[in-house]
A and B are shown apart, each in its own frame.
Chain A
Amino acid sequence: MSASEMIGDQAVFDVGIDVGGTFTDFFCTASEKTSQACKTPTTHYDLSVGFLRGMGLLAKQAGVPLGDFLSQVRSIRYSTTVGTNALIERSGPKLGLITTAGFEDTIFIGRARSWADGIGFTEGRDQARIKKPEPLISPDMVVGVRERIDYAGKILAPLDPAEVRDKLQELVDKGARGFVVGLLWSFRNPVHERMIKEVIEQEYPEDYLGSMPVFLSSDISPKAGEYTRYMTTIVNAYIHGVMSDELTKLGNELRDRGYKRPLTLVHNTGGTKKAARTRAVLTHNAGPVAGLHGSAVLGALSDIGNIVFTDMGGTSFDIGLIEDGDIKAHDFIPVIDRWRTNIPAIEVKSIGAGGGSIAWINELMNNALEVGPQSAGSMPGPACYDKGGRLPTVTDADLVLGLYNPENYLGGEMFLDEDLARAAIKEKVANPLGIDTVEAAYRIRRLIDARMGQEVFNEVALKGHDPRTFAVLACGGAGGAHACGFAPFIGARRILMPSQSSVFGAYGASMMQIKEVWDRSHSMKLFTFTKQEYLKDLEGFNRVVLELKDAALRDLRLEGYREESIEFTLELNVRYGSQYNMTRVRAPKLLLESEADVKALCDLFTERYATIYSPEATYPAGGINVEDFTMTAAVIRPAPYHAEHALSGAEPDKSAKTGERPVYWSPDKGFEDTPIYQYERLLPGNEITGPAIIEARDTTYVIAPSWRYRMDRFGNGSIEQIAR
Chain B
Amino acid sequence: MSRARFDIFRSGGEGACAFLPLIDDLSQRVSGESEAAMRAEATLWARGLARTAHFLGADAVIIGFDPSFAIAAARADESAPEENPNFAVFLDAIKMLVATEKERLGVIACLPGPCLLAQALDVATPADAKEESSALVRAVCECRPDMVMLREDDAIGAVGVAHQKSYSALRNVASYYDIPLCVSIERMNTNEIAPIGKLRPAFLRLGADAAGAPMTAAQFAAGVEVTGVMEPVDFSDEESATRAVAAAGENGARAITSLGQIAKDCDLEAVRRICGEINKNAA
Contact = CB atoms under 8 A, between A and B. Distances in A.
Interface of A: 41, 43, 45-46, 49, 53, 378-379, 385-388, 414-415, 417
Contacts of A386: 165, 168-169, 172
Contacts of B258: none
Contacts of A41: 175-176
B177 A43 contact: yes
Contact of A49 (B134, B135, B168, B177): B177
Interface in B122-155: 131, 134-135, 138, 142, 144
B178 interface: yes
Interface in B93-146: 131, 134-135, 138, 142, 144
* Secondary structure type dominating chain B contacts: helix
Contacts of B44: none
Contact of B172 (A45, A46, A414): A414
7 contacts: A43-B176, A378-B176, A379-B176, A387-B134, A388-B134, A388-B169, A388-B173
Contacts, number: 34
Contacts of A385: 172
B135 A388 contact: yes
Contacts of B138: 388
A53 B172 contact: no
B169 A387 contact: yes
A53 B172 CA distance: 15
A41 B135 CA distance: 19
Contacts of B131: 388
A127 B138 CA distance: 37
A387 B134 CA distance: 8
A388 B134 CA distance: 7
A388 B78 CA distance: 12
A582 B272 CA distance: 79
A723 B81 CA distance: 59
Interface of B: 131, 134-135, 138, 142, 144, 165, 168-169, 172-173, 175-178
Contacts of A388: 131, 134-135, 138, 169, 173
**Which 7 pairs of residues, A with B, have the shortest CB-CB distance?**
A386-B169, A387-B172, A388-B134, A49-B178, A379-B176, A387-B173, A386-B172
A41 B141 CA distance: 15
Nearest to A46: B144
Nearest to B172: A387
B125 to A, nearest CB: 15
A387 B138 CA distance: 9
A415 B173 CA distance: 13
A49 B146 CA distance: 12
Contacts of A53: 178
A417 B142 CA distance: 24
A414 B172 CA distance: 8
Nearest to A53: B178
B168 A415 contact: yes
Nearest to B173: A387
B229 to A, nearest CB: 23
Contacts of B169: 386-388
Contacts of A379: 173, 176
A415 B169 CA distance: 10
Q: From B131, B175, B177, B178, name the one whose CB has the most chain A CB atoms within 10 angstroms.
A: B178
A53 B177 CA distance: 10
Contacts of A378: 176
Contacts of B172: 385-387, 414
B277 to A, nearest CB: 32
Nearest to A417: B165
A129 B223 CA distance: 61
B109 to A, nearest CB: 16
Given A386-B165, A387-B134, A415-B168, A43 B178 contact: yes
Contacts of A49: 177-178
B13 to A, nearest CB: 11
A46 B179 CA distance: 13
A661 to B, nearest CB: 21
Nearest to A387: B172
Q: From A49, A385, A386, A417, name the one whose CB has the most chain B CB atoms within 10 angstroms.
A: A386
Given A49-B178, A385-B172, A388-B169, 5 more contacts: A49-B177, A387-B172, A387-B176, A388-B134, A415-B168
Nearest to A415: B168
Q: From B168, B172, B173, B176, name the one whose CB has the most chain A CB atoms within 10 angstroms.
A: B176
Nearest to A42: B176
Contacts of A415: 168
A417 B172 CA distance: 12
A417 B168 CA distance: 10
Contacts of A46: 144
Contacts of B175: 41
B177 A45 contact: yes
Contacts of B173: 379, 387-388
Nearest to B178: A49
Contacts of B178: 43, 49, 53
Contacts of B176: 41, 43, 378-379, 387
Nearest to A388: B134
B23 to A, nearest CB: 28
A581 B15 CA distance: 69
A46 B144 CA distance: 10
